[in-house]
Amino acid sequence: MNEQKVHFIGIGGIGVSALARYYLAKKWQVSGSDLTPSEITDDLQAEGAKIFIGHSAAHVSPDAQLVIYSAAVKPENPEYKEAKNLKIPLTSYAEALGDLTKQYITVAVSGAHGKSTTTAFLSLMLIEAGLDPTIIIGTRLKEFKGKNFRLGKSRYLVIEADEWNRSFWRYHPAIAVITNVDKEHLDTYRNLRGVISAFNHYLKNLPPKATAIINATDKNSLRARRKCKCKFILYNKKNRLPESWPLKIPGRFNQLNAEAAWQAAKILGVKKLVAQAAVAEYKGSWRRLEQLGLPNLLAEGEMLKGIFYSDYAHHPNEIRATIKALKEKYPSKKLLVVFQPHQAERLTNLFDDFAHCFEGADELVLLPTYEVAGRELRKETKTVHDLCNAIKSQKVSCLPKFDEVFKLIQGQVVVFMGAGDIDKEVRKYFQSKLFK
């Protein structure tokens, strides 16, 4: 029997790459393309995928059984057009993952903030309990040998359910965890009302036998559950969550993430002592307050000194939470935040929030906005220079290049923050303490 073939357009994305690993694990012949090379594409190639950099019709094999494309891919993409010409079944990442959720008892974690960490906590709890789940997550975990995927042998599937482009409407979970609902992905939903409506649509799609888990103090999440048929479990009632999770990573928001994960694990029969043991040794994941080791860079003949982190925060509320967690962990040290905005559209929509979310930092450096191909909609948008002028609460500067930041590092706690390519720049100079 010939090996089945699947091709991915946009294989370097964190979600799409996890699904590609699923097909690799199922012994399919996997190929894929992306605009630029990355650590993810390099790793996939080492794992057996055929990787192309750039898009071309020639990358699509005529005998492929399936072509899966990222949500950012447009119909004019040459590989998309070639798959249509060859009459190869075409499906989006969300549709393909949605089909997979029908084949398992699926637990899906969604929400504006905390999805990846909550998914990680839940996954580790189920593994510790011997439930052996298959896992698709939007970050890399040390526990998964630095990957964003784990193949299990049981009927359970745990996924991180992204809301952008209404992707999570395609999923069919038996248990749906919602960490919070916030003004995020406004390029899709326009405003907070649209976001709440999208979560409401998602919850309405759940059958009566499904269960949704919601933070009782998050008003937007509570609004999203109107007229839904599924069962609900509310946690963090009256904002009195006990600090009972033995976590090595800082921040009360991570206590909330652990509690949300536990509420889902408990439905599947996991005991709390098992859940506590599962998260006790967890040291975090890629770009989620990931501590960096001594830099590889010599500045003016001397090794840079400081405590360094890389963090994915790119929304004002995430930024506030990250800054608060670091100030609580290092109360006597100064904090330098190096931030790269992610999309001019987001910066513009949430400009007033961005102007006030860095107030806990002692110093702020702003880098040029990272633009995502296919996602910029407006012609007139705010810039980092506008943001620099709007921030009055602390010392702030705009720098055109990443490496100019090193002149400002003098032994502080430094967090390099953003969802764009800032982390790629960071890895040129720093080593991860997590992925040694």
pLDDT score for 368:
95
pLDDT score for 160:
97
Domain ranges of the chain: 5-93, 102-280, 290-429
Confidence of residue 302 (pLDDT cuts 50, 70, 90): low
Proportion of the chain above pLDDT 70, given as a percent: 95
Query: Using CA atoms, how far apart are residues 255 and 235, in angstroms rounded to an integer?
Result: 12
- Residue 348: helix, strand or coil by DSSP? helix
Instruction: Say if 102-280 and 290-429 have the same CATH topology.
Output: no
Query: Using CA atoms, how far apart are residues 428 and 165, in angstroms rounded to an integer?
Result: 32
Architecture of domain 102-280: 3-Layer(aba) Sandwich (3.40)
Q: What DSSP string runs through 241-260?
A: -------SS--HHHHHHHHH
**Residues whose CB falls within 8 Å of the CB of residue 279, separated by 6 or more in sequence, listed in order:** 121, 124, 125, 245, 246, 247, 258, 261
Confidence of residue 381 (pLDDT cuts 50, 70, 90): confident
pLDDT score for 153:
97
Per residue in 152-167, pLDDT tens? 999 999 999 999 999 9
- Residue 341: helix, strand or coil by DSSP? coil
Sign of CA dihedral 327, 385, 382, 406: negative
Please compute the mean of the pLDDT values over residues 198-209 and round it to a whole number.
Answer: 97
Q: Where is 221: in which H helix or E strand?
A: helix 219-223
Task: Return the number of other C-beta atoms located less than 10 Å from residue 421's C-beta.
Answer: 15
Is-contact 289 325, C-beta < 8 A?
Answer: yes
Q: Cite the DSSP H helix spans in 312-410.
A: 316-329, 344-349, 351-354, 384-390
- Mean of the per-residue pLDDT values of the chain: 93
Residue at token pair 């490496």: 403
Per residue in 17-66, pLDDT tens? 999 999 999 999 999 999 999 989 999 999 999 999 999 999 999 999 99
Confidence of residue 375 (pLDDT cuts 50, 70, 90): low
pLDDT higher than 80, residue 303: no
pLDDT score for 187:
86
Question: For residue 76, which amino acid is it?
Answer: E
Query: Using CA atoms, how far apart are residues 206 and 197, in angstroms rounded to an integer?
Result: 15
Q: Domain 5-93 class?
A: alpha beta
Measured CA distances, 71 to 13, 108, 185, 286, 422 (Å): 10, 19, 13, 23, 22
- Classified by CATH at the fold level, domain 290-429 comes out as Protein-Tyrosine Phosphatase; Chain A (3.90.190)
Please compute the mean of the pLDDT values over residues 220-248 and round it to a whole number.
Answer: 89
Confidence of residue 376 (pLDDT cuts 50, 70, 90): low
β-pairing, 231-235 with 211-215? parallel
pLDDT higher than 80, residue 298: no
Is-contact 18 136, C-beta < 8 A?
Answer: yes
Proportion of the chain above pLDDT 90, given as a percent: 84
Query: Using CA atoms, how far apart are residues 258 and 118, in angstroms rounded to an integer?
Result: 6
Q: Is 329 exposed, middle or buried (0-12, 13-18, 19+ CB in 10 A)?
A: middle
pTM of the model: 0.91
Confidence of residue 244 (pLDDT cuts 50, 70, 90): confident
Q: Hey, what's the torsion of the CAs at 368, 369, 370, 374, to 10 degrees?
A: -140
Per residue in 75-124, pLDDT tens? 999 999 999 999 999 999 999 999 999 999 999 999 999 999 999 999 99
Residue at token pair 């590092």: 409
pLDDT score for 247:
94
pLDDT score for 304:
76
pLDDT score for 379:
64
